[in-house]
Structure 1
Amino acid sequence: MNSLSRRKFVQTTIAAGAGGILLPKNMAKAAEAQTTDSLKGKKVLYVWGGWPGHEPEQSVEVFVPWMRSEGAEVEVSNSLDSYLDKDLMDSRDLIIQIVTMSQITREQESGLLAAVKENGTGIAGWHGGLNDSFRNNTEYQFMIGSQWVAHPGNVIDFRVNIVDHDDPITAGLDDFDLHSEQYYMHVDPNVKVLSTTKFIAGHAPWADGCVMPVAYKKYYGEGRVFFSSSGHVMADFEVPEALEIMKRGIRWASESKYQPKEDWVSPAYQ
């Protein structure tokens, strides 16, 4: 995405956040219902870094102005040392992280895990910025609920299917198409799956027919966790449904300290 188109995207994203201006008609009613779940008064830590191919710095221009337009107080950091600041971490309602293929120290990881597990801080993110962040840290992966392992065919055309039409994050949305990386992941069977994708392109024949989660939510201790595998680059969020799901997931995770736990654990294997 060049600087001009990204600037236009930022402007329209803020507008959509204020009133769903750019959403298709079939999404307007669902988006209107979401306005009561704004980020007003929420304290957010937005951490970016790692591999630049996932456009972590550019993502700041897309999501931070929108969050601030909804009334959030957002601190932006490009250092994992933010997780060492206990006063900062204790004060946050939500952490947004987009850090791909990086390394985290034991102390940094402990600060992040404690904020979510013990303090009930929500965490949300997308693509490799959240589920391919720290490949050597299994407790972090336990928290997030998945780990990227492949994207057969690299950037391809594929369909995202909404499978939970009752959850507020996906209510009122239709299936949609993406031209992006179709993530094959190792996934926690206790996550609440909201959307899926089916591998049918033939790039990895042994995986053809496999149905894989795209967006899901879960808990880690007291904290809410939201993840979507959409978002290889910021252009993915020019697809209205992909952007709307991400925005709703962020709002949901931000309520972690204020709303009771939802009871929907449904193991895949039983």
Structure 2
Amino acid sequence: MREALVVWGGWSGHEPEKCAQVVRDMLEEEGFKVYVHDTTEAFADPGIKDMHLVVPIASMSKIEKEEVNNLTSAIKSGVGLGGFHGGMCDAFREVPEYQFMCGGQWVAHPGDIIDYHVDVTRPDDPVMEGIERFPYRSEQYYMHVDPSNEVLATTTFTGEHADWIDGVVMPVVWKRRYGQGRVFFSSLGHVASEFEVPQMKTILRRGLNWAARAE
């Protein structure tokens, strides 16, 4: 049986505990045995190298050096990493190695909660199969991203809330490698209710399954 570690904490506005419960249920439906912790101390456990998947949900959290070193080593060795929104890509702002692993870092969400569209750039990828361009209402993440990411979906900024980024095409969903580990990220999922959007939940479910190391 595949095993997954979900670690939640950080800024309460992202509803980390509720989101962790949703992710736990989703992974259990996919046949994972899921361990849920509410402290980054779980990342320091040498046993995470035997996990198949790690899901951080820890927006704006701090992390100790031994914790991040153990986590990055585990992913490099082949453990999968997957997550969404600020829970993964705005978790540990002061740790460049963590951002290097994730492939991106949140910078801004002009206009806060707004209506925008998500455009599928890789309809041939199994994660995006059957999903077409769809409307979304949430924070539209402006990010600094690694050009080596394999981008599966994007969004385009209109410039309404920041005129200097009018027309900027920003990655929303991507895959990448970090050592032997697979890494998956979706910027969708500001709060737990967004899991009710079928495209959002399907993309994350498939992405986490892709990232997870095979048994």
- The interval holding the TM-score normalised by the smaller chain is over 0.9
Deviation at 1:84, TM superposition (A): 1.2
Shift of 1:49: 0.5
Q: What secondary structure does 1:148 align onto?
A: strand
Gapped runs of 5+ residues in structure 2?
none
Pick aligned residue for 1:123 from 77, 81, 87: 81
Other-structure match for 1:164: 122
Amino acid at match of 1:171: E
Q: Distance in 1 between matches of 2:41 and 2:197?
A: 33
Separation in structure 1 between the aligned mates of residue 80 and residue 13 of structure 2, nearest angstrom: 26
C-alpha separation between the residues in 1 aligned to 2:97 and 2:2? 27
Matched, 1:245 2:191: no
Q: Computing the radius of gyration over CA atoms, which structure comes out larger, 1 or 2?
A: 1
Q: Secondary structure at the match of 2:203?
A: helix
Answer yes or no: is 1:65 the counterpart of 2:16: no
Indicate conservation of the 8 Å contact 1:120/1:257, yes or no: no
Aligned identity (percent) is 47
Aligned residue in 2 for 1:100: 59
Whether the 8 Å contact between 2:120 and 2:132 is mirrored in structure 1 is yes
Q: Which has the higher helix share?
A: 1
SS in 2 for 1:136: coil
State whether structure 2 residue 102 is matched by structure 1 residue 144. yes
Structure 1 residues not aligned, in runs of 5+: 1-40, 259-270
CA distance in 1, matches of 2:36, 2:14: 17
Aligned residues: CA RMSD: 1.0
Taking the aligned partners of 1:85 and 1:63, their CA distance within structure 2 comes to: 21
Paired residue for 2:39, among 72, 79, 92?
79
User: Which has a greater percent of strand?
Assistant: 2
Q: Secondary structure at the match of 2:62?
A: coil
Asked which structure has the greater RCO (Cα within 8 Å, sep 6+), the reply is 2
Q: Shift of the alpha carbon at 1:171?
A: 1.4
In structure 2, what is the equivalent of residue 173 of structure 1? 131
Distance in 2 separating the partners of 1:72 and 1:222: 21
Q: How far 1:201 sits from its partner (Å)?
A: 4.9
Q: TM-score, normalised by structure 1?
A: 0.78
Query: Displaced runs of 4+ in structure 1, greater than 3 A?
Result: none
